[in-house]
Amino acid sequence: MSAAADLLGVTEETFAAIKGTLTVGLTASTGLQGVNLQDYVSLVPCLTPTRDSLPRSAAPQGAQFAYWRTFTNVNALQADGAEPFDYGGSATEMNMQNVFAPFGLIAKHGIVTEDAIALAGGYADALAVQTLETMKQEFITENINILHSQAFAAPSLGAPSLSASASNGFIGSGAPVYVLVAGRTGKNYFYGGSGPASASSYLTTGTTSTTNSVSAFVTAQRTIVAYDWFVGATAAAAVYYTTTTVNSVTITTVPTTPQALPSLALLSSTQPTTPPTADTSYQSYWINGYVASILGDWSTGAFGTSYATPGSGTAQGSIFTSLDGGTFHVSGAAIEELDALNLAIYNNYPGVSPARYIVGTQIVNDLANAALNSPQAVLFYQGALEDRQRLSMGGTVANYLNKTDGKTQIEIFVDPYMVPGELIAEVRSVPFMGSNVKTASRVETLRDYQRFDYAPNYVANSATGGPRHEFDVRCFEAFETVVGPTMGVLANIAPGIH
């Protein structure tokens, strides 16, 4: 008899029957009825800060894409305006892009049987509960898509470079080691999939040790934020080794079977096995989110200029910096990498500063540790004695001062669905004459949230084939940022500070 069953005063069999299991929808056997009918509890988090922070607007009906026009920065291309007397001025160069973003469907499905509704009657509204839980999943997947979705292929990764060490591993003397790598976009990180695997690289370990290890490194590419590594004694025998959020890995064994997934926050539970050949880094019906809209190239087609695989079109001029597995460096009371990012944005677009850094929990903790470990950042509380005796330990960093423009407080904005080691520098305004930027980024909808109810039909010999409510929570939307070229992304940031 379990302690929980004993406390409830029910049999072990009854207790086992009401334990939670992963189910699809609510049925008579998995519904809201129970033994001790206190208020039901939902422990499903729904924290979607990026989605919540964006304005939403209705698109004109009949629109196939979200369109806008952008005059890009051509200041460096202008001729000198100093002219002799009686001469006309030099011609002003202009460059305009008619940019469009695709609309995409985001939908989640719910199902509740009539028997589940009846059994929960007088206790809870099963249909309302299932609708709410479905809406929560809709908001979460929308938040991930707004950050990471892309309607174009991620760039291909080159073959990794390898180096051997005689220590820190368990690889035998003179062992052959083949390594391949496949890149994940942010959406792949949360839902699985990747680009196709790279060509293989090969080396043979030294013969003076049986504790060899191999370090592998691959050149970073825009929009790729995580890496699946495959290792084998031959290229054909290579199997999944691990996933990293930096573009390097240390290999300590040569596996013959796929290894377990690492413990990375919110990493998809989809298990890679062998090097992939198909490209699942994108789908043409996906929207282009923040990372895609900042780092994608511009490519002109039949409908105007859209976003395309980096390196395949015209670069927007946005900033992409890979720390290549390095950590943040503290200099005085500042972070060298953030100062360099702010300076690069300012040099491209004088007067522009990020309004916020969108980061995950790894980076916000590293920034707090960097600040609180720096002597320049130590503060002394000069209050009453009783207050000084009740000080709280710990702290965080809410803002970062842009030393380039000398005034802007950049918000440290935490989103749980940012990939560890990834930072977006989001610009929300451009202080230019005639910029005409009213809303820098927004969600544009053809049809905002709607619960669409399906007509039920009889399905023989099915637990959910009888009378039931089936529905989708749906949204038809595009993400639009008109200032993508002014923004930046840092990637491949290892945890810790230096």
User: Would you say residue 205 lies in a domain?
Assistant: yes
User: Would you say residue 178 lies in a domain?
Assistant: yes
- Give mean pLDDT, residues 14-27: 58
For residue range 364-390, what is the model confidence (pLDDT) as tens digits?
A: 999 988 887 766 555 555 667 777 677
User: Would you say residue 243 lies in a domain?
Assistant: yes
Residue count of the chain: 498
Q: Of 62-71, 200-209, 289-298, which gets the smallest average pLDDT?
A: 62-71
User: Would you say residue 190 lies in a domain?
Assistant: yes
Q: Of 29-38, 113-122, 233-242, which gets the smallest average pLDDT?
A: 29-38
- Give mean pLDDT, residues 35-54: 81
The confidence band for 6, taking pLDDT boundaries of 50, 70 and 90, is very low
The confidence band for 436, taking pLDDT boundaries of 50, 70 and 90, is confident
For residue range 87-136, what is the model confidence (pLDDT) as tens digits?
A: 777 666 656 666 778 889 999 999 999 999 998 887 888 999 999 999 99
Q: Of 28-37, 100-109, 273-282, which gets the smallest average pLDDT?
A: 28-37
**Better-predicted residue by pLDDT, 155 or 5:** 155
Whether the pLDDT of residue 85 is over 50: the answer is yes
- What percentage of the chain carries pLDDT values higher than 90? 61
pLDDT given for residue 392 in this prediction: 72
pLDDT given for residue 94 in this prediction: 56
pLDDT given for residue 382 in this prediction: 64
Domain that holds residue 186: 161-251
User: Would you say residue 400 lies in a domain?
Assistant: no
Domain count, the chain: 1
How confident is the prediction for the chain on average, in pLDDT?
87
User: Would you say residue 427 lies in a domain?
Assistant: no
The confidence band for 304, taking pLDDT boundaries of 50, 70 and 90, is low
Whether the pLDDT of residue 203 is over 70: the answer is yes
Report the predicted TM-score, pTM, of the whole model to 2 decimal places. 0.86
Whether the pLDDT of residue 75 is over 60: the answer is no
pLDDT given for residue 38 in this prediction: 66
| Nearest by Cα to 162 from 194, 107, 205, 122 | 205
User: Would you say residue 27 lies in a domain?
Assistant: no
User: Would you say residue 290 lies in a domain?
Assistant: no
Select, from the ranges 12-21, 240-249, 302-311, 393-402, the one with the highest average predicted confidence (pLDDT): 240-249
Whether the pLDDT of residue 198 is over 90: the answer is yes
